[in-house]
Amino acid sequence: MSLRIGVIGGGGWLAGALLRPALAKGIIDPAALILSSRKGAVSGFEAWPAIAVTSDNQTLADGSDVVILSVRPGDLDQLTLDLRGKLIISVMAGIPAADLATRYSSDRVIRSMPNACAEWQQGFTPWFATEAVTGSDRDIATRFFAASGKTIEIPREEDLDYFTALTGSGASMPALMADAMIGDAIARGIAPEIAEMAVRQLMLGAGTTIALGAAKPGAIVREFYDYGGTTAAGLKAMMDGGLPQAVVDGLKAATDRARAYAIRQSAPDA
C-alpha cells in the first residue's frame, strides 16, 4: 500500500504480529510506515530499517493517512490526538467506534478484533465499519488484515465483544486444553519432553483436521462418539464433567470483560 500508515503502540505484541506478515508480503511499504512507542524505540522490525519510529503520537498522526490504534484499553485516556481526515483502524478490545470517532475527531473508524495467531499468518480478524468509511477504506482494511490470515467485515459492532472472547483470545483457550493434557501425561510418568512433543503434534494434527477437513467439528466429535470405543468413553467423561459448559462460561466471562471496557470508558468518573 502506498498510503502512509502510523501505528500507535506499534512496538506491542499484537501490532508486531499483524505488521510483520504485511511487511514480509509487501502489502505495507516500510518507508511509508511509522510506529510509535512510549520510549521511541521498538524491536522486532530489524529486517525493515526504513520504518520510522517516534514517541510523538501527533507527529505520527500528522504524517499518516491511516492511523492504527494498538494500545491497551487502559492507556487510551492518555492518548490525546487530532485524527481529523484520517482513517482510524482500532484493534483494541471493547472500545466502541463512536467513542473513538468522538475522541479523535474522525468519523471514518474501522473497529477490528484480530488475534496473535496473525504472527503465523493464521489470524482471524472480523471488523466493523462506521457509516462514513469508504470503499477504498474497506479495501485497505481487507488487504492489511488478509496479510495475516482470514478477515471479514461484520454488520453488528456489538458482536466484536463476543469475538474478542471467541477468537481474539488466539491460541490461549486451546492451549489450556493442551496444557491440561501435558500435565496429565507427566503425572502418569511420561517424560515431560515426550509429553510436550506428543501434545504439540496432536494440536497441529487436530487443528489441521478441524480447520481444513471436510467434517465440521461437531461431526468429528459424533464420529468418534458413535464409534463406541476408547475415545467415546473419554469424550463422555469430559462432557459429563462439564467441559462444554466450562467453555461457555469462559467465553461469557471474556465477553463481559470486553463490554466492561466500554462501560468504564464512557463512565463520567472513568
Ligand X SMILES: O=C(O)[C@@H]1CCC=N1
Find the shortest distance in angstroms from Cβ 215 to ligand NAI.
Answer: 29
Find the shortest distance in angstroms from Cβ 93 to ligand X.
Answer: 4
Taking CB atoms, the residue at the shortest distance from ligand X is 168
Please report the DSSP string for 11-24 in residue order: TSHHHHHHHHHHHH
Is residue 160 exposed (0-12), middle (13-18) or buried (19+ Cβ within 10 Å)?
buried
- For 130-175, give the secondary structure using H, E and C: CCCCCHHHHHHHHHHHHCCEEEEECCCCCHHHHHHHHCCCCCHHHH
Q: Based on CB atoms, which residue is closest to ligand X, 21 or 170?
A: 170
Q: Edge-to-edge, what's the strand order for the sheet holding 123-129?
A: 52-54, 33-36, 5-8, 66-69, 87-90, 109-112, 123-129, 149-153
- Tracing cell 469424550 back to the chain, one arrives at 235
Find the shortest distance in angstroms from Cβ 259 to ligand NAI.
Answer: 13
- Tracing cell 468518573 back to the chain, one arrives at 269
Q: Based on CB atoms, which residue is closest to ligand NAI, 57 or 195?
A: 57
Taking a C-beta distance cutoff of 8 angstroms, is the pair 13, 123 a contact?
Answer: no
Report what 101 binds from ligand NAI, ligand X, none; CB cut-off 5-8 Å by kind: none
Q: Based on CB atoms, which residue is closest to ligand NAI, 112 or 130?
A: 112
Cell numbers given for 13? 505484541
Q: Based on CB atoms, which residue is closest to ligand X, 130 or 169?
A: 169
Q: Based on CB atoms, which residue is closest to ligand X, 79 or 220?
A: 79
Tell me the C-alpha to C-alpha distance, in Å, between residue 221 and each of 107, 208, 225, 232, 235.
Answer: 46, 15, 6, 9, 8
Report what 9 binds from ligand NAI, ligand X, none; CB cut-off 5-8 Å by kind: ligand NAI
Find the shortest distance in angstroms from Cβ 45 to ligand NAI.
Answer: 13
Report what 89 binds from ligand NAI, ligand X, none; CB cut-off 5-8 Å by kind: none
Taking a C-beta distance cutoff of 8 angstroms, is the pair 118, 93 a contact?
Answer: no
Report what 151 binds from ligand X, ligand NAI, none; CB cut-off 5-8 Å by kind: none
Report what 67 binds from ligand NAI, ligand X, none; CB cut-off 5-8 Å by kind: none
Q: Based on CB atoms, which residue is closest to ligand X, 13 or 227?
A: 13
Please report, as ranges, the residues that interact with ligand NAI according to CB under 6 A: 8-9, 11-15, 36-38, 57, 70-73, 75, 78-79, 91-93, 113-116, 168, 170
Q: Which helix H or strand E contains 226, and what residues bound it?
A: helix 217-227
Report what 8 binds from ligand X, ligand NAI, none; CB cut-off 5-8 Å by kind: ligand NAI
